[in-house]
Structure 1
Amino acid sequence: MEELIRTPNFDGLPSLQDLILKECPKLKEIHPSLENHTSLQYVSVWRCKKLRMFPTITHMKNLKDLSISFCPEILEFPKIHANMESLVELTIEYTGIEVLPSSIGEHCTNLISLNLRRWTRIIEIPSSIIELSNLQELDLSLNDFSRLGFSLSQLTQLKVLNMSSCEKLLELPEFPSSLTTLIADYCKSLTTFGDCHKNCRWLCDVSLKGGSIINDGDRLLESMLEACMAIENHYMFLRLKGIHQMAKGLTPQLVRGNRCTLQLPENWCNEFSGFLIN
């Protein structure tokens, strides 16, 4: 569809459930009739570089998954004026949108997955996302903010947080106790965890590849060990970029020369099946 400039009127497709507009370099307009389609469940718009506006999604009562990616001319988030109870996945990546409207927190309360990667024009993630009480996965990677400025502890269902390649990130937000997976690869300005993980009971999968020097990594490891003992299969993953990165990133209490020392819980030999340092 390389020559498509405007989509046709969608009124003749009342049962339309899926719409995918992929790599339409000349597309400038999606016909406004799309907003009246109550049967739509999945909409994906990808690499439509001249598209300037997306219709309001208020009447798309059955919409489950909305993805708008690599559409840099879209400057405004689709309008929402009513509850979107079916919407569980939302991806807004690399657009011209500068402000995430509060209507997401107000009307998209059943969201499970929220992807806000590559928001190149935004320097602050709005605190309204903490209203998404059912959110389980949050992707804030490839952004330019230095800190969130608010705690994520209210997201009591959040399990996976991705903040990779946030090169200006100086500190991590406070995590909810539900968090199991943290991905913070290539966060070159990040030097400390602080107390962000103090309430994490299930944090057992952490990736810190290609980052800066972490000064308090031993506390993180101790917290992860406690978590892995609490979960049923007793597993723990800590991904670092080679043993040299590990030696730089963790304090002398944990690493001395070519040795790595860690205080293990009681009866660990009955619970652990092995250790892998890669």
Structure 2
Amino acid sequence: MQVLEKLKVINLNGSELFMETPNFIYVPNLERLIFKGCKALSQVHPSIGNLERLCLLDLGECENLTGLPDSVGNLKSLKDLNLSGCSNLEELPESIGGLECLEELDISETVITHLPSSLTSLKNLRKLRFHVSKGRQQNFWRTLMRTLRKALNSRRPRLPSFSELSSLTELYMSGCNLLDGEIPSDIDCLPSLRSLNLTQNSFTTITASIEHISDLQSLIINRCKKLEVLPRLPESTMVVAAEDCLRLERISNPFIICTAPDSGFYFLNCSSLLPQDLDLTLQQKYSLSLLHYIFCCSTNSFWGTYVVSPCLQCEIPEWFGYQAVGPSLSIDMPPDWHYDSWRGFAICESFKRINCSPCQDLENDHFIFCGFHADGNQLGTLFRFPIRFVNSSCLWLGYVSNTQFPCDTNWETMSNHIVASFTITNPGLKVEKCGVHLVYELSAIIFNDLLVR
């Protein structure tokens, strides 16, 4: 057989009848090898270890694959190894520790019961995914922990150290049935960690050391139905998703200041949050944080959701200068309201849960639409914001930058009477109140100074 020296990619994605890989000595310069969805594939030829330039090995959803050859540890250039959905894969070879360039490892939905001790040698590992299938939630994590304890030569029962994985930026441990104390307390030794997904676990609280993960930006704890307390989070946190945390009663941060357009705080369907907690920690203080967020980003060209929070008394925050009952409001703008320091509109809506037909679509994602009209004409397009499924009343805050309106908008000749209107596609929610606030550079600076003090 002729050696194909110029061949760099083999993509057999979805080839369900493909059963066995060829001898790789004939394709020595391969860089990407994709066998995803090759459900009949049962083994990988040992010659794969000769592929010194291979960067990507995708074996996702190879349901018949039961193992990898030891030679896989010779793939010195490999950066991405996808084994998700390999439902018969029971173990990884010890040689995996030789993948010195490996950055992403996904072993979700496998039947792996132990990890090789060499895993802690993966100094460049950035993303580690552990999502567990429903049938294996009961014992997967504990078995995994026991294996790692042995790998670290521990003489007493303790959870494994994360300190060896210094390059890890994303850690997914969803569906692992984690209990209290099973998140390693030295998780703050992950200096590069930015995203932590703990969805659908069984702990009542999270280790307090999470506050010291200095670069953490995203914490996802959806459907942690036993979670009672959310500890203090680092100031770097931009996204917190805590939907369907039915026992969540306390949030430790007074408020979190965020400065990114895609930030958001989602405490939906958290039915145990008390009214006083909602009023103080979510409604008032996150709305203050919204002002700081607007100040930091007011020169950027974006619009986006900032926070969605549940509330029993859905009052529009007092600092919104224009408020009304219902889905629209009329605004008589002051003279010269659109002068140079105007940065945009802060907008707010409170929603009330209403009864509707069982056949209507409530649980999928929906959208909020916001429009501005003057002199009978719509100003620009409708601004669309996504909103997740909500089963209780909630307060929503957002921001529309002045840069999102058409460049040829002639504010000077326009009437000072503007109408803002809001609609939502979810038939189970009704807009109860709405508010608009004009954001100027000077007022944001003054507010920022107050926060700093």
TM-score above 0.5? yes
2:196 corresponds, among 145, 161, 178, to: 161
Q: CA deviation at 1:223?
A: 4.4
What is the alpha-carbon distance in structure 2 between the residues aligned to residue 60 and residue 183 of structure 1? 33
| 8 Å contact from structure 1 (residues 247, 255) kept in 2 | no
Larger Rg: 2
**Aligned twin of 2:256:** 224
Query: Between the two proteins, what is the percent identity of the paired residues?
Result: 27
* Equivalent AA in structure 1 for residue 256 of structure 2: M
**Aligned twin of 1:170:** 204
| 8 Å contact from structure 2 (residues 250, 277) kept in 1 | no
2:168 corresponds, among 135, 144, 149, to: 135
Unaligned runs of 5+ in 2: 1-14, 149-159, 299-345, 349-394, 397-453
Q: CA deviation at 1:128?
A: 4.4
Q: How big is each residue's C-alpha offset from its partner over 1:28-76, in whole Å with a ceiling of 9 and x where there is no partner?
A: 1111111222111000112221211112332101101111011121111
Q: How big is each residue's C-alpha offset from its partner over 1:202-228, in whole Å with a ceiling of 9 and x where there is no partner?
A: 1121001122221212x23x2423xx2
What is the alpha-carbon distance in structure 2 between the residues aligned to residue 58 and residue 26 of structure 1? 24
Q: In the superposition, relative to structure 1, how do residues 101 and 42 fare at CA in structure 2: closer, same or farther (>3 Å)?
A: same
1:179 corresponds, among 216, 231, 235, to: 216
* Equivalent AA in structure 1 for residue 55 of structure 2: Q
**Aligned twin of 1:262:** 285
What is the alpha-carbon distance in structure 1 between the residues aligned to residue 295 and residue 32 of structure 2? 47
| 8 Å contact from structure 1 (residues 49, 70) kept in 2 | yes
More helix by share: 2
Unaligned runs of 5+ in 1: none
Q: How big is each residue's C-alpha offset from its partner over 1:58-107, in whole Å with a ceiling of 9 and x where there is no partner?
A: 2101101111011121111133265433211111111111112331212x
* Equivalent AA in structure 2 for residue 144 of structure 1: N
Superposition TM-score, scaled by structure 2 size: 0.52
More strand by share: 2
1:249 corresponds, among 251, 264, 273, to: 273
Superposition CA RMSD, Å: 2.8
* Equivalent AA in structure 1 for residue 273 of structure 2: G
What is the alpha-carbon distance in structure 2 between the residues aligned to residue 98 and residue 269 of structure 1? 45
- 1:213 matched to 2:247: yes
- 1:36 matched to 2:63: no
Q: CA deviation at 1:2?
A: 2.3
Superposition TM-score, scaled by structure 1 size: 0.82
The number of residue pairs the alignment matches comes to 260
Q: CA deviation at 1:270?
A: 8.4
What is the alpha-carbon distance in structure 1 between the residues aligned to residue 50 and residue 228 of structure 2? 49
**Aligned twin of 2:237:** 203
| 8 Å contact from structure 1 (residues 215, 251) kept in 2 | no
* Equivalent AA in structure 1 for residue 216 of structure 2: L
- 1:15 matched to 2:47: no
Pick which of 71-80 and 150-159 moved more: 71-80
| 8 Å contact from structure 1 (residues 214, 250) kept in 2 | no
Q: In the superposition, relative to structure 1, how do residues 235 and 97 fare at CA in structure 2: closer, same or farther (>3 Å)?
A: closer
